[in-house]
Structure 1
Amino acid sequence: MELSSYKKMCEQQENHWWFKGRRKIIEFFLKKHSFKKQPELLEIGCGPGGNLELLKKFGNVFAVEMNSYAINEAKKHSDILIERGSLPDDLPFPDKPFDIICLFDVLEHVEQDKQALQVINTRLRAGGQLMITVPALPFIYGKHDTALHHYRRYDKQQLIKLLEQADFTIQELSYFNTLLLPLAMFARLLDKTLKRADSTGLNSPPALINKMFFKIFSFEVFLMKYLKLPLGLSMFCAAKKNG
Structure 2
Amino acid sequence: MTNERQPFQSRSFPLLAEAEAGHWWFLSRNRLLLWVLAKKVGSFRSFLEVGCGTGFVLRDVAKAFPETECFGSEYFEEGLVFARARVPTATFRQIDATRMTESEHYDVIGAFDVIEHIEPDQLVLANLARAMKPNGALLLTVPQHRWLWSEVDQQACHVRRYTRNELIFKVSQAGLSVSFVTSFVSLLLPLMWLARSRAKANSQNCDSMSELRLPGWINCGLEAVMRLELFLIKLGIRLPVGGSLLLLARKP
Q: TM-score, normalised by structure 1?
A: 0.93
The residue number in structure 1 matching 2:246 is 236
More moved, 158-167 vs 23-32: 23-32
Q: How does 1:1-150 map to 2 (within 5 A)?
A: 1-36=8-43, 38-56=44-62, 57-58=64-65, 59-79=68-88, 80-89=90-99, 91=100, 94=102, 97-150=105-158
Judge conservation of contact 1:28–1:221 (CA < 8 Å) in 2. Answer: no
- Displacement of 1:236 in angstroms is 0.5
Q: How does 1:186-197 map to 2 (within 5 A)?
A: 186-194=194-202, 195-197=204-206
- Displacement of 1:95 in angstroms is 6.3
Q: TM-score, normalised by structure 2?
A: 0.90
Judge conservation of contact 2:178–2:250 (CA < 8 Å) in 1. Answer: yes
Aligned in 2, Cα 1:76/1:12: closer, same or farther, shift over 3 Å?
same
- Displacement of 1:222 in angstroms is 0.6
Please point out which of 155, 165, 170 is paired with 1:157.
165
Q: Looking at secondary structure, tell me which structure has more helix per residue.
A: 2
Provide the identity percentage: 28
- Displacement of 1:25 in angstroms is 1.2
Unpaired stretches in structure 1, ≥5 consecutive residues: none
| Secondary structure at 2:124 match in 1 | helix
Judge conservation of contact 2:199–2:206 (CA < 8 Å) in 1. Answer: no
- Distance between the aligned counterparts of 1:133 and 1:203, measured in 2? 19
- Displacement of 1:202 in angstroms is 2.6
Runs of 4 or more consecutive aligned structure 1 residues displaced over 3 Å after TM superposition:
none
Deviations 1:183-238 (A, max 9, x none): 00000111111241414853310111111111111221111122111210001100
What is the root-mean-square deviation in Å for CA atoms of aligned residues? Answer: 1.6
- Distance between the aligned counterparts of 1:127 and 1:12, measured in 2? 36
Judge conservation of contact 1:124–1:241 (CA < 8 Å) in 2. Answer: yes
Q: Paired residues, what number?
A: 239
- Distance between the aligned counterparts of 1:199 and 1:25, measured in 2? 23
Judge conservation of contact 2:113–2:141 (CA < 8 Å) in 1. Answer: yes
The letter for the 2-side match of 1:45 is G
Unpaired stretches in structure 2, ≥5 consecutive residues: 1-7
- Distance between the aligned counterparts of 2:172 and 2:104, measured in 1? 23
Judge conservation of contact 1:144–1:202 (CA < 8 Å) in 2. Answer: no
